[in-house]
Chains A and B, each alone.
Chain A
Amino acid sequence: MNSALLAADCISVRMGERVILNEVSLEVREGEFFSLLGPSGCGKTTLLRIIAGFSQPSSGRLMWQGKDVTRLSPQHRDLNLVFQNYALFPHLNVFENVAFGLRMQKQSEPVVQTRVREALALVRMESHALRRVTELSGGQQQRIALARAIAPRPRMVLLDEPLGALDLQLRKDMQWELKSLQRQLGMTFLYVTHDQEEAFAMSDRIAILSGGNIEQVSTPEILYSRPSTRFVAQFIGTANFIPVDKMSAHKARHLSSGLEFDICTSDERDSAGNFPLKGELLFRPEQLCLRKTASAATCLPVTIQMRQFLGAVVRYHVEIPGSKPGLLTIDHSSVGHDTFAPGESAYVELATANLCFFKEQSRR
């Protein structure tokens, strides 16, 4: 609790009838790389703008080290924002762009000089100090925007999809750089993105937003293996759902085959409810394995629909005959496995323990 640098306390934003954010509460701890992840329109940018001070919530409070800063204007907040479109000042050169925040702090000239050089060195742009920002490439502008945000040494840096405009390779490189930069500086980074891979590659913790609600706040590992809602399960990675009946608090059964599974988590709160309870089990593609022959007691007969060679893995899309959702996605390592051709019959071996159960959707 005491290490929470920033806390959103029941923040809601309503625009007429529309609810943009619905009682969002979360905590960002000092020194962590925290991501707000969600599909477009989930309210993550709205939340970011509230944190930066450019918008006000309809209700709720924003706490900064225990103090209410909801109404504090942006220039007085100890955090800097890296804009999606960089928002560099075109009439100033690289040096003056990075120096802007320091000048506003009325730092002495020697301090400005050293801090700007430091910041430029961190993003490896020292040699560009006197260039015009309009002469720089997208990736370079991105670095300058980052340097501009960290030069005044704020407690927190907000990043609004800063890698969105870069091409794939550059984006991957920048992910490493951002992460190592954050480690080096020990600064708190709050990163907004719709890209799950990006969030996973860098974050210590991630908040998943959907339709203005926080779905789950956790580490990437837990989000992937223990998603608390069906939305999170689907949004993160690839999800296969197999309909089952929950027989007790920790057991589920696939009815047509009679296979039994151990459940470790479930999204329903009343575990003492009436059994059997209809629902679905989540299987990640690597929790499934294709076999030529039915070997264990955990096999289902399937038909191969499609095979995709992706390099390190071979991805199969298979159909369970006579089953409702039908298609499963299965990943095999590309070495040391049998290969299957489309149309072929096979058996899929299912993991039996540590599975997540989701109650049948009584559509919200």
Chain B
Amino acid sequence: MRWWGMPAKIWMSCFILLPFLWLALLSLQQTPAVNAPRQVDLHQYARALSPPFSNIIFNSVLTSLLAALLVLLIALPLTWRISRMPQRKRNLWLALFTIPLGLNFVVRVYAWFVLFRPEGLLTKMLLDLGFDVALVSSQLGVFIGLIYGYLPLVFLPLYSIFDKLNQSQIEAAQDLGANLLQRWWHIILPETRLGLMACFLFVFVPMLGEYLIPRMIGGGLVATLGTQIESQFLGSGRPNWPFGAALSLCLLAAAALVLLVGFSLLRWQKSERKASWSLDL
């Protein structure tokens, strides 16, 4: 009697499986009108996968991919340093990086908006330095916002990954002649690759669906997959639920695709371990 598995099963079916099926059915409707004749076809998908929406999907995937990679790139050395600190210092730093999570997301994003405005501190400073960049309503601003918003989320998982890594293994590599880059490339990254992949997906997937940051910093002028879906469902114009549902499933498919590519890369890396040695570092 595996009854203790039931709550999870009920939860999954009620709140994940059923809504998903409903969304899938909805996406097959031709028109948004509720009383329209129920014709089932792929009209909504055809629309989603042709310009301008295909471009938006492509841009969103690219931006999220880049932003997620950058988040990892920034967080890796930082969390690594913290995980190698003495216990007391470690706790202080971890607290410093996780305290912002206690603040409401909207408030944090709005703070960036204040800095990014043409009369904002950051924009003025950049202007003084000779950089005339628009941060509000621009792809760059949204990009920075994404990185900022998701950076704290990877700190704790990355920290726990590194914390578990045996220090003497790294020392052994160094002892055998590996320099800093070689230690990362041959020991740290291969040994933590699964965790790193999980961290990457952990920020990449929500970034793909993110609509708050593009809405607030992008001012509605930067179209992303997230904002498109949101406006199809909640938009003030003409909501189109079937189209929104189709876009949502496209998002899911994109995420699944990246996941698939990612994990096959891992497998490839494992089987091609020997080849990796030829990479001169």
Contact = CB atoms under 8 A, between A and B. Distances in A.
Interface string A185-229: 000000000000000000000000000000000000000000000
B172 interface: yes
B191 A91 contact: yes
Would you call the interface of chain B mostly helix, strand, loop, or mixed?
helix
Interface string A67-85: 0000001111100110111
Contacts of A275: none
Given A89-B169, A103-B277, A75 B191 contact: no
Contacts of B190: 91
A80 B176 contact: yes
A294 to B, nearest CB: 60
Contacts of A43: none
Contacts of A73: 174
B187 interface: yes
B176 A104 contact: yes
B171 A54 contact: yes
Interface in A78-122: 80-81, 83-85, 87-92, 96, 100-101, 103-105
Interface residues of B, number: 20
A38 interface: no
A251 to B, nearest CB: 54
A96 B169 CA distance: 14
Contacts, number: 63
B178 A104 contact: yes
A87 B171 contact: yes
B176 A152 contact: yes
B177 A81 contact: no
A111 to B, nearest CB: 14
A74 B169 contact: no
B166 A100 contact: no
A75 B172 contact: no
Interface residues of A, number: 27
13 contacts: A52-B175, A83-B168, A83-B171, A85-B168, A87-B169, A87-B171, A88-B169, A89-B187, A89-B191, A100-B178, A104-B176, A104-B177, A148-B176
A100 B176 contact: yes
B50 interface: no
A73 B179 CA distance: 10
B172 A81 contact: yes
Contacts of B174: 54, 73-75
B273 interface: yes
Contacts of B179: 75
Given A74-B174, A89-B172, 8 more contacts: A75-B177, A77-B175, A83-B172, A85-B168, A89-B191, A90-B169, A91-B191, A100-B178
Interface string B82-119: 00000000000000000000000000000000000000
A87 B273 contact: no
B173 interface: yes
Contact of B273 (A76, A92, A105): A92
Contacts of B169: 87-90
B206 to A, nearest CB: 29
A75 B180 CA distance: 10
A54 B172 CA distance: 10
A87 B176 contact: no
Nearest to B192: A91
A81 B175 contact: yes
A104 B183 CA distance: 10
Given A85-B168, A89-B169, A75 B273 contact: no
Given A91-B191, A101-B177, A74 B171 contact: yes
B54 interface: no
Given A87-B168, A104-B182, A74 B191 contact: no
A73 B180 CA distance: 11
A88 B166 CA distance: 10
A15 to B, nearest CB: 12
A55 to B, nearest CB: 11
A198 to B, nearest CB: 21
Nearest to A77: B175
Contacts of B178: 75, 100, 104
